[in-house]
Amino acid sequence: MNSPRSIEGEVVVTIPFHDIDIMEVAWHGHYAKYFELARTSLMQKVGLDWIRIRDMGFALPIVDFNTRFARPLRYGSEYVVRATVEDPYSTYLIIDYTITEKSTGQACATARSRQIYLRTEKLETCFNLPDEFHEAYKRAELHA
């Protein structure tokens, strides 16, 4: 099989007042929320919104999540948050994230999450990529 194309999703986030701390920058705990917005965009792009995943009888719990902070996210500023899957055919769903300042392109943060495929009926971990996900990723790759 040829090497897979990466699959991406992205959103633009403007840092709201309710996400900032006393220094007028986004509190570090909110970064996960911004990454989640980009991940949702990515999964919707491949036709795997969380409702579809639930209806297929799966969950994708996160087992690892690491973040590196380079520059603060400032109140009222716009940022591009991107989620990328380099190898959608892996046993795990591994997503790399970046946050860049929209006006300058400066990198502000990166992250990586690792999720397992879990059959919810019996809470069984899948040790191979489930066929339903393989097909969805293949369709997305063909339309990229």
pLDDT digits (tens, 9 = 90+) for 76-112: 999 999 999 999 999 999 999 999 999 999 999 999 9
Structural domain contains residue 144 = no
39 contacts 48 by C-beta, under 8 angstroms: no
Structural domain contains residue 26 = yes
Number of domains in the chain: 1
Structural domain contains residue 1 = no
pLDDT of residue 141: 77
Structural domain contains residue 140 = no
56 contacts 120 by C-beta, under 8 angstroms: no
Radius of gyration in angstroms for the set of CA atoms belonging to the chain, rounded to a whole number: 16
Q: Which residue has the tokens 């007028």?
A: 24
Structural domain contains residue 104 = yes
Structural domain contains residue 120 = yes
The boundaries of the domain holding residue 23 are 7-134
Residue 48 three-state SS = coil
User: Which stretches within the chain are classed as H helix?
Assistant: 31-45, 50-55, 131-142
Distance CA 94, CA 4 (A): 14
Structural domain contains residue 79 = yes
Residues of the chain with pLDDT under 50: 1-2
pTM recorded for the entire structure: 0.92
Return the CATH number at 127. Answer: 3.10.129.10
Residue 77 three-state SS = coil
